[in-house]
Structure 1
Amino acid sequence: MSTPMCPVVHFEMPYRDAARATRFYREAFGWQVQQFGPEMGDYLMATTASEDSAEPGTKRGVINGGLFPFQADNPMQHPSVVIAVDDIRAAMARVHAAGGEVMGEPMPIPGVGDYVSFVDTEGNRHSMLQPQMPG
């Protein structure tokens, strides 16, 4: 059985000052940044381009992302990518079998899906997301 190809769908980066980071990415790159409150971990959602579509003015194959508050006591506070998977438990098993380490259990993100971080064989922290099915 072959491993399914799983796309990068999101990026994440830490921030130390939300207003400063928002201003920088808006002014330097024209990103739209939306700040969520404490109930969503003070996350900054970054829209880097219009959604992937064939409509005029949009760009195909782009990803959007977000910024999270830097926490010195948390491990691996650096940029990472989020990879979409169809079955998060099966993907966790594949990461383990390939020599990576899954960091904890999947966390449900309301309206988004199940999310869990992992460390690859090179020491990079990334995450996987099983998107929530509509309905």
Structure 2
Amino acid sequence: MSTPMCPVVHFEMPYRDAARASRFYTEVFGWQIQAFGEEMGHYLMATTAGEDSAEPGTKRGVINGGLFPFKADWPMQHPSVVIAVADIRAAMARVNAGGGEVMGEPMPIPGVGDYVSFVDTEGNRHSMLQPLMPG
């Protein structure tokens, strides 16, 4: 059985000053930044382009992302990508079997899906997301 192709669907970066980071990405790149409060970990959602569409005049293959507060006692805080998977537990097993390391257990993100970080064989931290099924 072959491994399904899993797309990059999101990026993440740490920030040290939310207002400064928001201003920078808004002014320099025109991104739309939506700040979430304490209940969502002070996450900044970054919209880099409109919805991916086949309509004329839209961009194909774009991804959006977010910024999270830098915390000195957290491991491996650097830019990373989020990869969508159909079954997060199966993907976690593939990461471990392939020589990577899953960092903890999946956490639910309300309205989004289950999320877990991992380290690949090259020491890069990334994450996986099992999106909620539309319903």
TM-score, length-normalised on structure 1? 0.98
User: Given the alignment of the two structures, is residue 32 of structure 1 paired with residue 32 of structure 2, yes or no?
Assistant: yes
Q: RMSD over aligned Cα, in angstroms?
A: 0.7
The CA distance in 1 between the partners of 2:58 and 2:36, in whole Å, is: 25
Q: What is the aligned partner in structure 2 of residue 71 from structure 1?
A: 71
1:103 partner SS: strand
Instruction: Report how far residue 134 of structure 1 moved.
Output: 1.5
Runs of 4+ in structure 1 over 6 Å off: none
Q: Which amino acid aligns with 1:113?
A: G
Higher alpha-carbon deviation: 9-18 or 56-65 = 56-65
Matches of 1:57 and 1:109 in 2, distance apart? Answer: 32
Structure 2 unmatched runs, 5+: none
Matched with 1:134 is 134
Counterpart secondary structure, 1:104: strand
**Map of 1:121 onto structure 2:** 121
Matched, 1:110 2:110: yes
Percent of aligned pairs with the same amino acid? 90
Matched, 1:22 2:22: yes
Residues of 1 paired with 2:118 and 2:58: CA distance?
32
Residue correspondence of structure 1 range 35-74 to structure 2 within 5 A: 35-74=35-74
